[in-house]
Amino acid sequence: MTIDMTRPAPEKEPERQYHFMDLLKEALEQEQTESGKTRTYSITTMGCQMNARDSEKLRGILEYIGYREAAREKDADLVIYNTCCVRENAEQKVYGKLGYLKGFKKQNPNLKICLCGCMMQEDAVLEKIQKSYPQVDLIFGTHNIYKFAELLATMEESGSRIIDIWQAHGEIVEDLPSLRKFGFKASVNIMFGCDNFCTYCIVPYVRGRERSRKPEEILKEIRDLAADGVKEIQLLGQNVNSYGRGLEEPITFAELLYKIAEIEGIERIRFMTSHPKDLSDDLIQAMRDIPQLMPHFHLPLQSGSSELLHRMNRHYDKARYLERAEALQAAVPGISLTTDIIVGFPGETEEDFEETLDVVRKVGFDSAFTFIYSPRIGTPAAVMEQAPEEVTKPRFDRLLKVLEEVIEENNQKRLHQTYHVLAESVSKNGMLTGRTETNQLVHFEAPECMIGQIVPVTLDESKIYYFIGHLERTCIIA
């Protein structure tokens, strides 16, 4: 691919990135004319919804340029791993995949390998990849993902490895091509970074300090999505409850939600993640008063022990968490509460663990992301005395057992009730699959033409982590 990099590029974003996208597009069209071959790509996303949203941007840029998604990774001309560093096993998975790709590159010397995302912001990781994985062609991090087209053009023109890691964030650039997985629902970033510095978490170090997008930019993006047929949006941020801090014109997250609810065409609003210390009465009132807000709230607990929560630097205790959960349940009857829980944080005693189980039973969570603590280099908790696996693994198993009992008890209360389900796709068993207002996963028999519609489904059978249901006869099939 021959790219004319001598043409002057605009300084202003996103015009600058469109300049490089157009250069790449022209070069790719010329290459395809000469070779008759279309370049393909493969993107593997690891980690949170923020990473998934970033991958949509990468996919949109590549499709704009003229790349097409490969059916299989090994057939792709460009392989991208959008990485996560929250858990150690995610990092090990990346190293394993890079070794796997080394063989593909020997067979196809034109194959380009790209690494981006949170993992790339860690100095030790970057050093290891530079020394041990020469097959990687392009490396960038979380702060400059919008520069992907420029970096790709530079890599192609120079024929050499490009590494561009920023240690601090710059401007927020969102107005770039994006290719969503679904046409009827979308994720929208409302803020980036985190200021909480929980002692176990690497996110503030790799995603940067907290910064909010201007509300008018968010509202414009959502209006455009609604005009494109999107019915459901999910607002994303490391701590959406603190949205608006630092903006020139102060606005709270609750106030933003009321503005979003006025946008015609948006039928469902979801968001994550919320920090318990910033869960305001105004937000709880918004959950009660805004009909488009779905009755589901993800409220990470991490531990039920006030002592451990203090050592985690969470800025709330067990009593405060329970009070906030009860306030949500009182304001929105039938609300689904989900959470995150860490087992085996340094210093966790049997009494601490029992406090966690107590909160699980009292709140009655509908689901939980559960983790055995994994030390992350660079965080305060990594230098604390670690709990032995022979203690943490049995506790983890006990937690799962209690959670399943609580979830199944909740599920039984939902059986034979009718919910409105946004049909999303065809599941492996050939049934349609979607989520209720309360975010429960449901499989049900229905024609594929109903994908993208919100339909009434009665829940018939609980499988603990999902339901089997049936479409109500009152539903009109388009």
What pLDDT was estimated at residue 48?
84
β-bridge pairing 112-117 and 78-83? parallel
Going residue by residue through the chain, which has 478 residues, state the pLDDT in tens, using 9 for 90 and above. Answer: 788 888 999 999 999 999 999 999 999 999 999 999 999 999 999 988 888 999 999 999 999 999 999 999 989 999 999 998 877 777 888 999 898 888 888 888 889 999 999 999 988 899 999 999 999 999 999 889 999 999 999 999 999 999 999 887 777 888 898 999 899 999 999 999 999 999 999 888 888 889 999 999 999 999 999 999 999 999 999 999 999 998 999 899 999 999 999 999 999 999 999 999 999 999 999 999 999 999 999 999 999 999 999 999 999 999 999 999 999 999 999 999 999 999 999 999 999 999 999 999 999 999 999 999 989 888 999 999 988 999 999 999 999 999 999 999 999 999 999 999 999 999 988 999 999 999 999 999 999 999 999 999 999 999 999 999 999 976 555 4
pLDDT digits (tens, 9 = 90+) for 24-44: 999 999 999 999 999 999 999
Half-sphere exposure of 46 (CA within 13 A, CB side): 23
Count of C-beta atoms within a 10 Å radius of residue 298: 20
Tokens of 34: 């000469």
What pLDDT was estimated at residue 145?
92
Pair 41, 67: CB distance under 8 Å? yes
Which residues lie below 8 Å from residue 33, measured CB to CB, with a gap of 6+? none
CA 356 to chain centre: 25
> Which single residue is written with the structure tokens 């009827």?
184
What pLDDT was estimated at residue 478?
46
Query: Helices in 378-436 by DSSP H: which ranges?
Result: 389-414
What pLDDT was estimated at residue 476?
55
**Long-range CB contacts (within 8 A, 24+) of 443-447:** 443/467, 443/468, 443/469, 444/468, 444/469, 444/470, 444/471, 445/470, 445/471, 446/471, 446/477, 447/477
DSSP 3-state of 465: coil
Pair 102, 135: CB distance under 8 Å? yes
For residue 441, which phi and psi values (nearest 5 degrees)? -80, 135
For 91-209, where are the E strands, in sequence order? 112-117, 138-140, 162-164, 185-189, 191-192
What pLDDT was estimated at residue 276?
97
CA 26 to chain centre: 33
For 182-267, where are the E strands, in sequence order? 185-189, 191-192, 211-212, 232-236
CATH topology of domain 197-412: pyruvate-formate lyase- activating enzyme (3.80.30)
What pLDDT was estimated at residue 473?
77
Q: What are the extents of the domains in the chain? A: 15-164, 197-412, 418-471
DSSP 3-state of 278: helix
Q: What is the CATH number of domain 418-471?
A: 2.40.50.140
Alpha-carbon gap, residue 155 to 301, rounded angstroms: 44
For the 15-164 domain, the top CATH level (class) is: alpha beta
**Whether the domain at 15-164 and the domain at 418-471 fall into the same CATH topology:** no
Alpha-carbon gap, residue 322 to 327, rounded angstroms: 9
Alpha-carbon gap, residue 54 to 140, rounded angstroms: 12
What pLDDT was estimated at residue 409?
97
Listing DSSP states for 144-168 in one string gives: TGGGHHHHHHHHHHH-S-EEE--SS
Residues in the chain: 478
Listing DSSP states for 7-53 in one string gives: SPPPSSTTHHHHHHHHHHHHHHHHHHHHH----EEEEEE-SSHHHHH
Alpha carbon of 337 to those of 259, 272, 365, 406, 440: distances in Å?
Answer: 24, 12, 5, 12, 11
Tokens of 454: 């919100």
Alpha-carbon gap, residue 396 to 362, rounded angstroms: 19
Tokens of 64: 């704009």
